[in-house]
Amino acid sequence: MFAEKVYIKRRKRLREQVGSGIILLLGNEESPMNYPDNQYPFRQDSCFLYFFGLDFPGLAAVIDVDEDKECVFGNDPTVEDIIWMGPQPSLREKCQRTGISETAALDRLQGTLKKIAGQNREIHFLPPYRAESTLKIAELLEIAPAQVHDYISKPLIKAVVGQRSIKSEDEIAEIEAALDTCYEMQTLAMKMSRPGMYEREIVGAMEGLVLSRGCQLAFPTIFSVHGETLHNHYYGNQMKEGDIAVNDSGAESTLHYASDITRTIPISGKFTDRQKEIYNIVLNAQEKAIEAVRPGVEFRNVHNLAYKILASGLKDLGLMKGGIEEAAFAGAVTLFFQCGLGHMMGLDTHDMEDIGEDYVGYTDTIKRNPEFGWKSLRLGKELEAGFVITVEPGIYFIPELIDRWKAENKCSDFINYDMVEKYKDFGGIRIEDDVLVTENGHRVLGKKIPKTIDEVEAISSCGPD
């Protein structure tokens, strides 16, 4: 938990930005796997963490903007709780650490909200992303579950996005702490990966390392020799000589700030010449995109820059043809790069995605492009100092997509399908770093993780410690 004053300041600013009414924030509940007492690891709602810092289930909070009051609703530990989990502080004692002096039993929340509703005061709440939260809001506000999303508060969404998007020095330190663990994950995978091993062996080692550091995964690990599948969570492939594996993985800090790094690993310790050619195209696009990151730049333009660099490199190899500008405009590059260049990052890997990507990554004037490839770009708006973003270009040879485009003769003025056919067994390459937008430019966060071909091969060839 941060210092008490941090949470007090955050809530004060939130009240000022929302202006009037009542703010209702729900914490998360335990989530059972297959019966009530066998639960998934608890993860608190990120907005609740941000404003209250309380990392345990069964909580809700009400902020009275008009009367400048705050109350956390929850229950004190029972004798049963103490028997099974040991001595625990009271709710009031926990809340005092975050600057909250008023607490109440959870069963008083509905009556409190009913009284407020009777005063014709607006109750602000964020979009729920769990079914139980939707049902709880419906019950508390006495509306149908299907109506809940009709009542979400845009002023609250915009206030939260505006505040959480700009990372403080304390938050950046937490992200870098998460990146320390991620550095170990990535370098361990490079050292361990060998022909004959299964992907799951590497994944198990990385995830065990995260647990040993007292942390949790930031998201399910992506480690696959089928890097052309963008979010591949299958770990059953046996790795062979000549394979490359995409390792997209990350850990949280103890305060739940995320890290998110991708490297592509040669399983035999060395890249083939063909792999080096594609790798260097992706690396060049990533380095040039990072160089372009600074305040005032629209990230959609950085994405477009990466598009053109990828297209130029693919043209040099004979996979694409024609004019680069025209190919980018026609969307031809999306045969090879189907996802967005990056996203916001913080307490969530895709920061505040639950609130709505169009609020987080776009504005009233900078709208999401609905075209294939572009529609997956989670961040398009102008960058500001304090943003933490990912920069993660890639090249992916997806056989089914290639077959479909070829059958449709799609973008044939820009794609050399005869040459592309020879790469259908290639897989994919992605390179990703976490980048802070500074007042005058940018800073790549965390320890330098091997990234150039020479660096990756050097550590991949040395074997485990």
Listing DSSP states for 256-271 in one string gives: --B--EEEEEETTSS-
pLDDT score of 203 = 98
Listing DSSP states for 367-425 in one string gives: PPP-STTGGG-S--SB--TT-EEEE--EEE--HHHHHHHHHHTTTTTTB-HHHHHTTTT
4-164 and 169-460 have identical folds: no
Cα(145)–Cα(109) distance, integer angstroms: 18
Burial class (CB in 10 A: 0-12, 13-18, 19+), 203: buried
Domain covering 4-164: architecture: 3-Layer(aba) Sandwich (3.40)
Where do the structural domains in the chain lie, given as residue ranges?
4-164, 169-460
- What number of other Cβ atoms are within 10 A of residue 57's Cβ? 16
Which 8-state DSSP code applies to residue 238? B
Q: What is the SS3 assignment for 446? A: coil
pLDDT score of 432 = 98
pLDDT score of 463 = 58
First to last CA, the chain: 34
CB-based contact 345:437 (threshold 8 Å): no
Type of residue at 371: E
Listing DSSP states for 343-379 in one string gives: -B-SSSSSTTTTT-HHHHS--SSSPPP-STTGGG-S-
pLDDT score of 465 = 56
| Run means of pLDDT, 10 residues per run, the chain, 465 residues | 96 97 96 92 97 97 95 92 89 95 95 89 96 95 94 97 98 98 98 97 98 96 94 93 98 98 97 98 98 98 97 97 93 95 98 95 94 93 98 98 96 97 97 98 98 96 61
pLDDT score of 317 = 97
pLDDT score of 464 = 57
Type of residue at 11: R
What is 169-460's CATH topology? Answer: Creatine Amidinohydrolase (3.90.230)
Cα(50)–Cα(52) distance, integer angstroms: 6
> HSE of 129 in the Cβ direction (CA atoms, 13 Å)?
11
pLDDT score of 231 = 86
